[in-house]
Amino acid sequence: MAVLPEARSPRVLVILGHPRLDSFCGALAGAYEAGARAAGCEVQRLDLARLAFDPNVHLPYPRDQALEPDLARAQALIRWADHLVFVYPAWWGTLPALLKGFLDRVLTPGFAFAADDEDPSSWAKLLKGRSAHLLVTMDTPPWAYRVVYRQPGHQAMRRATLGFCGVAPTFVSTFGPVKPATAEARAQWLDRARAEALRLPGRLRRHRLRARAGAWLRLLRLQFYPMAWVAYTIGALAAARHGGVFSSRVYWLGYLCLFLMEALTVVSNEWFDQGTDRLNRHAGPFNGGSRVLADGELGPGSVRRAMLGLALALGMALAALGAALAGGPGLAAMIALAVLAAGYTVPPLKLVYRGLGELDVGLTHSFAAIFVGGLLQSGVWRDPFPWLVGLPLFLATLAAITLSALPDHEADGAVAKRTLAVLLGRRGAAWAALGFAVAAAACGVLWQRCGLFGGLSGFAAFLAVPHALLLVRAILRYLRRGAPCERIDGIMTLALTYLLWFGVIPLVGLS
């Protein structure tokens, strides 16, 4: 993978895909090349019309067809480059045959991507770390190409070809209509191509900064924080209603501790789960971690420093909370919650490696968070409300966290991570999740009938029942397919939105 150091100028490979060297595309390629050299870039040029190669793939597997010397050199140049510039006309809406044949022969398995023979939906992108720019001429007005035809050539190159191999971002500049263009218009287009090249170093720096910021955001996995906040707020509002006291300062200090606790938990999970994440072939938005370490988007040192920094920040926030409370059971409960949350993967507890991971997540995102939120406001630890209102939320969370481990089953088993999916097998864990989901709906309805969820918001508990049925149906379909080890994003979406009912209903009822 090409990784561009901050101190080195970009290496640019300009690829002219037009079969005629004296075309306007040739002039655009020359203008970009001149601009890139003026910007201090190292530049190489590849004119496909000068290469000797067979554009057709004659064998079942492209990598089995020997590369001609010119194509072997082209692969070496692509390896060398940080930035690929393709200059070509849009013919019949897509690429010229010369460029298409070149891509068919050059972007071979083992060079541009690595296919997974066992799972066709999974592959490794071997050209990561490179960016690209498409300079495309056409006789169609660019607005019509974009609006009427939906940019088929741009989409094919940016997503299905370069994106498939890991090249990103891919910038696109469209020039047209060329045929009726005046000499003045063409000169302006050439100036524009030179200007695009001059902008390249700064553009790539900004992209690296955005990519790094995006990696940090993915590492934090902020999508999982709202439910902890909901549970904590339920406890705080319930305590205020029962005891008539609500301290805004204590509430926000407590939530700061909870937020830092959640951040420390997900970052430490990323650190201590590197082994299983690297083996995981079925990672998705709801499982398998953020993958910023496994995919090399952040270095181990950065993540380790972030983990230590979050631990320090949490310690300072707990000290501030202790000062606001002047000690007491609330602070002790918050510290215990922090230990329980971080102990999911952090030694010496490593609860998920001891078969207690699902229980840990269920407790910290339901009973424990509700209990701590109430205890900070009232100091009363014998109130039964947190345990009653938290039960359906606990069960729904258990269902979601149990399901999330199904795609990770093979990788987790390889590193002795004892999730329910590993302990019970995928079928057993899926049945357990189904039982948890049904029990959550039953508890929700029972609590509404007993008056725990009062008012109009309480009737929403009945709306969770059809949602539960949809989730049950999705799990049964998964079981009928043999409970394969694969991504289950649809089921996970149902499971995570399902647990919202048991957080939002009591939160609205107490507001």
Query: CB of 464 within 8 A of CB of 502?
Result: yes
Helices (H), ranges, 343-454: 357-364, 367-378, 385-404, 409-414, 420-449
Q: Which amino acid is at 500?
A: L
| CATH number of the structural domain spanning residue 46 | 3.40.50.360
User: Does residue 6 form part of some domain?
Assistant: no
Does 306 lie in the same domain as 185?
A: no
In this structure, the answer to whether residues 205 and 256 fall within a common structural domain is no
pLDDT on residue 4: 52
Residue position matching structure tokens 């109009």:
456
| Domain assignment of residue 166, yes or no | yes
Residue 22 lies inside a defined structural domain of this protein: yes
Given 217, 235, 253, the domain boundary residue is: 217
Q: Which of 217, 250, 272 is the last residue of a domain?
A: 217
Residues 300, 275 within the same domain:
yes
Q: What is the pLDDT of residue 9?
A: 87
DSSP summary character for residue 91: B
Q: Residue 118: its pLDDT value, please?
A: 61
Distance CA 347, CA 358 (A): 17
Q: Considering the domain boundaries, does residue 37 fall inside one? A: yes
Eight-class DSSP state of 199: H
Q: What is the pLDDT of residue 1?
A: 40
Name the DSSP letter for residue 10: P
Do 212 and 236 share a domain, yes or no? no
Same domain as 352, residue 304: yes
Q: Which of 361, 428, 358, 366 is nearest to 394 (CA)?
A: 366
Q: Are residues 22 and 163 in the same domain?
A: yes
In the listed set 184, 217, 250, which residue is the last one of a domain according to the structure?
A: 217
- 247 shares its domain with 147: no
What is the pLDDT, as a whole number, of residue 3?
46
Query: Please, are residues 377 and 243 in contact by the beta-carbon 8 Å criterion?
Result: yes
How far is the CA of 177 from the CAs of 25, 137, 194, 323, in angstroms?
13, 8, 19, 70
- Give the pLDDT confidence score for residue 7 in this predicted structure: 58
Alpha-carbon gap, residue 326 to 212, rounded angstroms = 40
Residue 294, in any domain of the structure: yes
Q: Identify whether 2 is part of a domain.
A: no
> Closest Cα partner for 168 from 176, 159, 156, 178?
159
Does 302 reside within a domain?
A: yes
Q: What is the pLDDT along the chain (511 residues), one digit of tens a residue?
A: 444 555 578 999 999 999 999 999 999 999 999 999 999 999 999 999 999 999 999 998 888 899 999 999 999 999 999 999 999 999 999 999 999 999 999 999 999 999 866 665 668 899 999 999 999 999 999 999 999 999 999 999 999 999 999 999 999 999 999 999 999 999 999 999 999 999 999 999 999 899 899 999 999 999 889 999 999 999 999 888 877 678 999 999 999 999 999 999 999 999 999 989 988 888 888 898 898 988 888 999 999 999 999 999 999 999 999 999 887 788 999 999 999 999 999 999 999 999 999 999 999 999 999 999 999 988 777 778 888 889 999 999 999 999 999 999 999 999 999 999 999 999 999 999 999 999 999 998 888 777 776 556 667 778 899 999 999 999 999 999 999 999 999 999 999 999 999 998 888 888 7
Burial class (CB in 10 A: 0-12, 13-18, 19+), 156: middle
The residue type at 115? A
Query: Using H for helix, E for strand and C for coil, what is the string for 34-78?
Result: HHHHHCCCEEEEEEHHHCCCCCCCCCCCHHHCCCCHHHHHHHHHH
Question: Residues 353, 355, 356, CA angle at the centre, nearest 5°?
Answer: 100
- Do 246 and 373 lie in a common domain? yes
Closest CA to 18 of 198, 185, 181, 175: 175
Domain count, the chain: 2
Residue from 121, 89, 77 nearest 16 by CA: 89
Number of Cβ within 10 Å of residue 241's Cβ equals 14
Could you tell me if 161 and 102 lie in one domain? yes
- Do the beta carbons of residue 37 and residue 43 sit within 8 Å? yes
Residues 228 and 196 in one domain: no
| Domain span at 323 | 221-510
Cα–Cα distance between 240 and 260 in angstroms, integer?
24
Q: How far is CA 502 from the centre of its chain?
A: 26
Same domain (yes/no): 194, 253: no
Q: Coil, helix or strand for 452? A: coil
pTM for the whole structure? 0.81
195 and 278 co-located in one domain: no
Alpha-carbon distance of 217 to 229, in angstroms, equals 18
Q: Considering the domain boundaries, does residue 3 fall inside one?
A: no
